[in-house]
Chain A
Amino acid sequence: MTLRRFARLSVVSTLLMLVARDARAQDPRLRGALDVETLARVTRFTDSARAESLPTDPLVGVALEGAQRRAPGARIARAVQEYLGALRGARVALGVEASAPEIVSGAGVLLAGVPADVLKRMRAGNPHRSLTVPLVVLADLVARGVPKDTASRAIETVARGNAKDDDFTALRRLVEQDIGAGASPATATMLRARSLNGVVPPDPVAPAPAVRRP
Chain B
Amino acid sequence: MTDHDSELLFARAGAALRAPHPRDAAEIEALVRRVGAAPVVHVMPARAWLPWWVGIAAAGVAFVIGLGVGRTGGARTTVASTGGRPTLVSQVASIGGGEQSIAFVFVAPAARKVSLVGDFNGWDASATPLQRTDGRNTWSIAVRLPPGRHVYAFVIDGATWVADPQAPLAPEQWFGQRNSVIVIPEDRRS
Contacts and interface: CB of A to CB of B under 8 A. Distances in A.
Q: Do A and B associate with each other?
A: yes
Interface of A: 29, 33, 57-58, 61-62, 64-69, 71, 75, 79, 83, 97-102, 104-105, 107-109, 111-112, 128-130, 132-133, 136-137, 139-140, 142-144, 164-167, 169-170, 172-174, 176-177, 192, 194-200, 211-214
Given A83-B172, A192-B17, A195-B16, 13 more contacts: A64-B119, A65-B174, A79-B174, A98-B189, A99-B189, A105-B183, A112-B171, A140-B169, A164-B70, A165-B71, A165-B183, A169-B70, A196-B18
Interface in B116-155: 117, 119, 122-125, 147-149, 151
Contact of A139 (B6, B70, B171): B171
A108 B181 CA distance: 11
Given A136-B183, A195-B17, A129 B189 contact: yes
Interface string B16-51: 111001010000000000000000000000000000
Contact of B123 (A61, A100, A128, A172): A61
Contacts of B179: 65
Give the one of B10, B175, B178 with max A CB within 10 A: B175
A65 B1 CA distance: 55
Contacts of B13: 194-195, 198
B14 A197 contact: yes
Given A177-B23, A198-B10, A214-B2, A143 B175 contact: no
Contacts, number: 156
Contacts of B147: 101
Contact of A130 (B16, B172, B181, B189): B189
Nearest to A67: B123
Contact of A136 (B1, B14, B181): B181
Contact of B171 (A66, A142, A195, A214): A142
Contact of A71 (B23, B149, B161, B175): B175
Q: Which 3 pairs across A and B sit closest by C-beta, in order of nearness?
A: A61-B119, A169-B68, A112-B171
Contacts of B100: none
Contacts of B2: 212-214
Contacts of B70: 164-166, 169
A140 B183 CA distance: 13
Contacts of A67: 123
Nearest to B188: A130
A203 to B, nearest CB: 13
A65 B183 contact: no
Contacts of A83: 172, 174
A124 B183 CA distance: 22
Nearest to B125: A68
Give the one of B117, B125, B183 with max A CB within 10 A: B183
B68 A132 contact: no
Contacts of A64: 119, 122-124
Nearest to B117: A68
A93 B155 CA distance: 35
29 contacts: A62-B172, A62-B174, A64-B119, A65-B151, A68-B125, A99-B189, A101-B147, A101-B186, A108-B149, A130-B185, A130-B188, A132-B183, A133-B183, A139-B170, A140-B168, A140-B181, A166-B68, A170-B17, A170-B18, A170-B68, A172-B168, A174-B17, A194-B13, A195-B13, A195-B14, A198-B13, A211-B3, A212-B1, A213-B2
